[in-house]
Structure 1
């Protein structure tokens, strides 16, 4: 493998692993903690049916209004790719939001997402853009 291809592949592997760790943190510690941990300072989060959330402080404020025992969001990476430079990349996948309705019955929502990742000065990957939408249950 040539050096440029190796740099790109290493970035793809790191982005995929980071996104999987992000989902695991969301499942175990909640969406608010996971999204604020993995967000870059200049983050933009697309919100279904509403204006986007722009900037880390706005994201933190939005997520702080979520109930601690709210729904659980998890996802699975279906595709990851990166720029040849190894500085930017994206993940695409399917998400599952699990909660309870007013009667206490289990309720699920399904969707797809895309997350754009940027390598920070310290070498860590943080997302700069995240968005998705609901879909019918996958078959």
Structure 2
């Protein structure tokens, strides 16, 4: 099943206007000999960031994004449309540059889909955390297909150039990409039903101890107390509706995004998620909540 295209990039908006990974738990997938590693994705992310410093945001975001890539601006939009409309870099622009670096990454068993996440800064000021999903292209190169982020405390994160922690690669997957999408869609439907009643308790059945939650304000939530606090800080109830996503060829990794609106609210926020197939089924390993742009909850 081909990836859906509609994703917006928060980092771009931040300019213009984690290292911490929990140790794998017993039911997390194990790193097996010969399994793919995210090395190439980390290298692509670092090259992307370096290109941004050299040529500016517009040129680098266009060069490293796939044709179908999406960003949040603040609603889901074509990355090429959003960045293509921006002015070219002014050589005399003295504003501090946008900088980011990966601290946590993962890849699918089939080696065709993965992600990185880490802090971003404007000059020396750390502003938040990004999350980027990458897909391997037909020519073997990696390009990103979704870029999102939150303004959050990144003061405690490791410095640029630090070692990157890896999510262990899955040992198996669903029967196909279509099967993976169908199975995850079923889980997301169940999560959405529960979230309409009580968001804080809705996530528990879908997470293992290494799940990461990103929200506006606090650092990434990577342990049980932090995850509980992050969920408690979000709206008490949310109405969620899927917009798009995609799966790896091995059927072991699925990304999704969609609307997340408080009941009765005039404006909507969004969610971005990453699911991984494990011995105990599909588990939510990453969730990001992007609140409405007008600040309404």
**Band the TM-score falls in, shorter-chain normalisation:** 0.7 to 0.9
Please state how far the C-alpha of 1:132 moved relative to its aligned partner: 0.4
In 1, Cα distance between equivalents of 2:127 and 2:88: 19
Partner of 1:103: none
Query: What runs of 5+ residues in structure 1 fail to find an aligned partner?
Result: 99-106
From the superposition, tell whether residues 22 and 52 of structure 1 become closer, same or farther in structure 2 (CA, over 3 Å). Answer: same
In 1, Cα distance between equivalents of 2:69 and 2:99: 20
RMSD (Å) for aligned C-alpha atoms:
2.0
Aligned residues: 122
Structure with greater proportional strand content? 1
1:61 and 2:61 correspond: no
- Partner SS, residue 77 of structure 1: coil
Q: How does 1:50-129 map to 2 (within 5 A)?
A: 50-56=74-80, 58-62=81-85, 64-65=86-87, 68=90, 69=93, 70-98=95-123, 108=125, 110-129=127-146
Larger radius of gyration: 2
TM-score, L = length of structure 2: 0.38
> Do 1:89 and 1:118's aligned partners in 2 also have CA atoms closer than 8 Å?
yes
Deviations 1:79-137 (A, max 9, x none): 11100000000001000013xxxxxxxx8351101000000000000000001011135
In 2, Cα distance between equivalents of 1:13 and 1:135: 26
Structure with greater proportional helix content? 1
> Do 2:128 and 2:153's aligned partners in 1 also have CA atoms closer than 8 Å?
yes
TM superposition outliers: structure 1 runs of 4+ over 6 Å: none
- Partner SS, residue 46 of structure 2: helix
In 1, Cα distance between equivalents of 2:79 and 2:120: 23
> Do 2:46 and 2:101's aligned partners in 1 also have CA atoms closer than 8 Å?
yes
Q: How does 1:124-139 map to 2 (within 5 A)?
A: 124-139=141-156
TM-score, L = length of structure 1: 0.78
Deviations 1:53-100 (A, max 9, x none): 2252x13334x23663254111110111100000000001000013xx
Please state how far the C-alpha of 1:51 moved relative to its aligned partner: 1.2
> Do 1:112 and 1:133's aligned partners in 2 also have CA atoms closer than 8 Å?
yes
> Do 1:75 and 1:95's aligned partners in 2 also have CA atoms closer than 8 Å?
yes
In 2, Cα distance between equivalents of 1:87 and 1:133: 26
From the superposition, tell whether residues 82 and 137 of structure 1 become closer, same or farther in structure 2 (CA, over 3 Å). Answer: closer
In 2, Cα distance between equivalents of 1:71 and 1:53: 26
